[in-house]
Structure 1
Amino acid sequence: MKESVLEVPGARLHHFVRGTGPLLVLIAGGHGDAAVNEPLADHLADRYTVLTYDRRGLSGSTTDEPGLTLATHADDVSRLLSTLTTEPAYVYGSSIGALISLEFTIRHPEQSGVVVAHEPPVTQLLPEPERTRAVQDLLTAEETFKAEGAAPALRRFAKFAGIDPTDREPDVEVRRTGPEQLPNVEFLLTYDVPAIRAHTLDLAELKGSPARIVPGVGENSTHVWPHKCARLLAEELGTAYETFPGGHNGYAFRPRATAGRLHQVLND
């Protein structure tokens, strides 16, 4: 595995490359950094060259420009990929990572191969009053953070996303949010969650992308609104959605099964 730091406008992107085969970038959800994707990457490295990274503002990726948009994150993915290949790459993103992958597909279609967007929070697709409730979920997490701190806010976040720590593979250890992770949670709630609320996906541009876009859903997350967002996105694009193991964060709790399913979807 190769560890590097890439200097980009306003930030330094800490990233890792492992394995051999077609290039696949993994974009974590929530306050997840490269370490969250490490088990999934390890299960894919026998078939793919896997790129994982800390989003700007998280862990080893520092930033001088924290007031950012999802377009900023999408451009970061583009710059990372440009150091590794001139060919279209595979992309797998979950939650905010899925929304970033979709924005990346719009902004950098020439770099986009198969793009799997697992439960992206595309709130604009939800009918009312579900849309208002979804936006309020995000806003409540932000307000809880300001009033009570990171840990209570993260619990609110986990509740509306339906995170179930018991829904995991036997050898997966639940990653506790220790002091070293609190800055990531704080950055998520201060900058990234407002960016999600403010974001509008250009559906016309997305439909015109040459990439194969695959909305993904968790088999155990039918009760949460990001699951419905993915189904509605598939309907909007006139394509089928694919089901993945586990819930909203199945990539972290069920990495072995997710790797197998992702390989099937990428090569369908």
Structure 2
Amino acid sequence: MNHIVRTLEIPDARLHYEVRGEGPLLVLVGAPMDARSFAAAAELLATDHTVLTTDPRGINRSPLHDPGQDSTPGLRADDLSRLITHLDAGPAAVFGSSGGAVTALALAIASPEQVHTVIAHEPPLVETLADRERLHAGTEDQIATYLAGDVVGAWTKFMAQANIAMPQEVIEMMFGGERDPQQVADERRWFAHELRGTVRWQPDLAALRSVRTRVVVGIGEDSTGQICDRTSTALAAALGIEPTMFPGGHIGFADDPDRFAPRLREVLREN
């Protein structure tokens, strides 16, 4: 199977992207998750799709000219638009997870002619929730804690607010001690320049209801009670659609791609 790895120069960054397979274009995107997180699922889906994955701006192999620039859903959506135009293979189906789901929704609003289907898997759209001010305050505390140097403390607060059950010793093992420098750099960028803009993004619900793009809101079967279950359920209700369930939890596509890819293919075939 062909696997092309290239870069695209844009005015303020150099975007790393990868293309696998042949067939209709399918984009798999995260934020801050990079192309590596989708590699296993991309291999499975590339048997009948051209699959595009990318490192979001400022993350890993997609350096910014100005490293201090914030990452917003609008900027990331413009990056996807440029990549789809560059490949000349659209309109595309876009599967976005977490912050990537917010990117995909922003793309559907800004460039609906480029995307026929958006599957927004667990977008952390805190603005859809009644307790958003409390949650925004929690996010600001997480960012401040991280930037003050307490990495484990920041992640402990993040997991607690997300209602993701994770033993403290696991958090300390994952985020304490010696770590990969690139992982640390991407993590710092996410806390400092990406998290706030993603969770505070307010979707244009009227636009999402009116675009010709098919919008699907996905939730992991194991995510019940987590913050992204709540935000996804609220978004689906606001759009007047039922959520679509997927195997696993927040990153089911990475944890169990053998189950996730067939379900995604099934959802793509639905009208």
* TM-score w.r.t. length of structure 1: 0.89
**For the residues of structure 2 that align with 1:152 and 1:5, how far apart are their CA atoms?**
36
Q: 1:70 touches 1:103 (CA, 8 Å); kept in 2?
A: yes
The answer to whether structure 1 residue 87 and structure 2 residue 86 are counterparts is no
**For the residues of structure 1 that align with 2:30 and 2:156, how far apart are their CA atoms?**
18
Deviation string, structure 1 residues 175-210 (Cα, Å, up to 9, x no partner): 986332111001111110121244221111111111
Q: 1:13 touches 1:56 (CA, 8 Å); kept in 2?
A: yes
Structure 1's 150 and 56: CA in aligned 2 closer, same or farther, altered over 3 A? farther
Structure 1's 246 and 211: CA in aligned 2 closer, same or farther, altered over 3 A? same
**For the residues of structure 2 that align with 1:156 and 1:197, how far apart are their CA atoms?**
16
How do 1:33-72 residues align onto structure 2 when only pairs under 5 Å count?
Answer: 33-65=34-66, 66-72=69-75
**For the residues of structure 2 that align with 1:252 and 1:152, how far apart are their CA atoms?**
25
Identity of aligned residues (%): 37
Deviation at 1:247, TM superposition (A): 1.1
**Residue type at the aligned position of 1:98:** A
Deviation string, structure 1 residues 83-112 (Cα, Å, up to 9, x no partner): 112531000011110011000100001001
Alignment length (residue pairs): 257
Q: 1:124 touches 1:200 (CA, 8 Å); kept in 2?
A: yes
Residue number among 23, 27, 30 corresponding to 1:28 in the alignment: 30
Structure-2 residue corresponding to 1:124: 127
Higher mean C-alpha deviation, range 42-51 or range 138-147: 138-147
How do 1:77-226 residues align onto structure 2 when only pairs under 5 Å count?
Answer: 77-85=80-88, 87-127=90-130, 130-163=131-164, 178-226=180-228
Deviation at 1:37, TM superposition (A): 1.0
Q: 1:13 touches 1:53 (CA, 8 Å); kept in 2?
A: yes
**Residue type at the aligned position of 1:220:** D
**Residue type at the aligned position of 1:156:** K
Q: 2:125 touches 2:200 (CA, 8 Å); kept in 1?
A: no
**For the residues of structure 1 that align with 2:212 and 2:230, how far apart are their CA atoms?**
24
**For the residues of structure 1 that align with 2:247 and 2:166, how far apart are their CA atoms?**
14
**For the residues of structure 2 that align with 1:50 and 1:164, how far apart are their CA atoms?**
32
**Residue type at the aligned position of 2:118:** V
Structure 1's 156 and 21: CA in aligned 2 closer, same or farther, altered over 3 A? farther
Structure-2 residue corresponding to 1:76: 79
Structure 1's 198 and 125: CA in aligned 2 closer, same or farther, altered over 3 A? closer
Any gaps of 5 or more consecutive residues in structure 1?
Answer: 167-174
**Residue type at the aligned position of 2:41:** L
**For the residues of structure 1 that align with 2:196 and 2:156, how far apart are their CA atoms?**
17
Higher mean C-alpha deviation, range 134-143 or range 233-242: 134-143
Q: 2:84 touches 2:90 (CA, 8 Å); kept in 1?
A: no
Q: 1:102 touches 1:117 (CA, 8 Å); kept in 2?
A: yes
**Residue type at the aligned position of 2:14:** R
Q: 1:93 touches 1:116 (CA, 8 Å); kept in 2?
A: yes
**For the residues of structure 2 that align with 1:158 and 1:80, how far apart are their CA atoms?**
33
Any gaps of 5 or more consecutive residues in structure 2?
Answer: 168-173
**For the residues of structure 1 that align with 2:37 and 2:164, how far apart are their CA atoms?**
15
Structure 1's 242 and 12: CA in aligned 2 closer, same or farther, altered over 3 A? same
**For the residues of structure 2 that align with 1:24 and 1:159, how far apart are their CA atoms?**
34
* TM-score w.r.t. length of structure 2: 0.88
Structure 1's 252 and 152: CA in aligned 2 closer, same or farther, altered over 3 A? farther
Q: 2:159 touches 2:166 (CA, 8 Å); kept in 1?
A: no
Q: 1:165 touches 1:253 (CA, 8 Å); kept in 2?
A: no
